[in-house]
Amino acid sequence: MTLRIAYSPCPNDTFVFDAWAHGRVPCAPALDVTFADIDITNGMAERGEYDVLKVSYAVLPWVLDEYALLPCGGALGRGCGPLVLTREVGTDLAGKTVAVPSERSTAYLLFRLWTADVVPGGVGKVVVMPFHEIMPAVRDGKVDAGLVIHEARFTYQDYGLHCLADMGEHWESVTGLPIPLGAIIAKRSLGDETLRLLAESARTSVRMAWEDPEVSRPYVLEHAQEMDPAVADQHIGLYVNEFTSDLGPDGYAAVRGLLTRAAAEGLIPPLGRDALSFV
């Protein structure tokens, strides 16, 4: 059995899936891998196009009828939230134009919850851009601010930009919970037995990467878009953690907390009671 999977070329995803994608996880199904930005994979999930996908937690309310959330392989954590960047320190975002990587992303949900608390009247216009175009757009004055994710945490100062706010810090201060960022989902039609196998395969692939990180390095750097190897290592260290191996009670509480609060604000549809349950 070969399954079609899509995930990003970011170091955390290639690190997590290296062993599985290259056939080193015993008994795991073979993978036909497509690389795509998170905004693209979110759309794939809404159209039901792939067997397994890395998506934003924010898109789950639209896809959980067809897909199941796997309890491992994704990205949650502390101190790893999206940042709002500006050219000037302390920019007032009221009425301003802000670039975001996706309107169906966890980053955007966190941003909307933050603006509801701290930007009276809200921002002016939101424009969607591929995440790698956002910092140059802020630097060049094409937008007033940018919501950035991934390795931008480590490189935004190279663009002469300033961090106006950390969405993760705001979320953690309000809730005390880790930040849910990216989820691994698989089609329910694959059946419970296969879903359990997929979860165990993802968990084993993560553990194999931890046991010998150098094995995954060529795969990580091949797809890291000319990223400095030291930045790639920081990226992996921040986004691949105990929640990647197993969501656990705190992980599930964070996911449900984010989606419940966002639904209460009218940003997403409400979740069904058992929507996050795994087989």
Q: List pLDDT tens digits, range 132-183.
A: 899 999 999 999 999 998 778 888 999 999 999 999 999 999 999 999 999 9
* Residue linked to tokens 């878009």: 225
- Is 150 assigned a catalytic role? yes
How far is residue 249 from each of residues 83, 216, 220, 246, 256, measured CA to CA in Å? 26, 29, 30, 9, 11
55 is in an annotated binding site: yes
Choose, from 150, 162, 170, 235, the residue flagged as catalytic.
150
pLDDT of residue 238: 87
Report the C-alpha gap between 246 and 250 in whole angstroms. 10
Half-sphere exposure of 195 (CA within 13 A, CB side): 18
155 is in an annotated binding site: no
**DSSP code of 189?**
G
For 71-89, the pLDDT digits (tens) are 999 999 898 889 999 999 9
pLDDT of residue 135: 96
- Banded model confidence at residue 247, pLDDT cuts 50, 70, 90: very high
142 is in an annotated binding site: no
Report the C-alpha gap between 103 and 109 in whole angstroms. 8
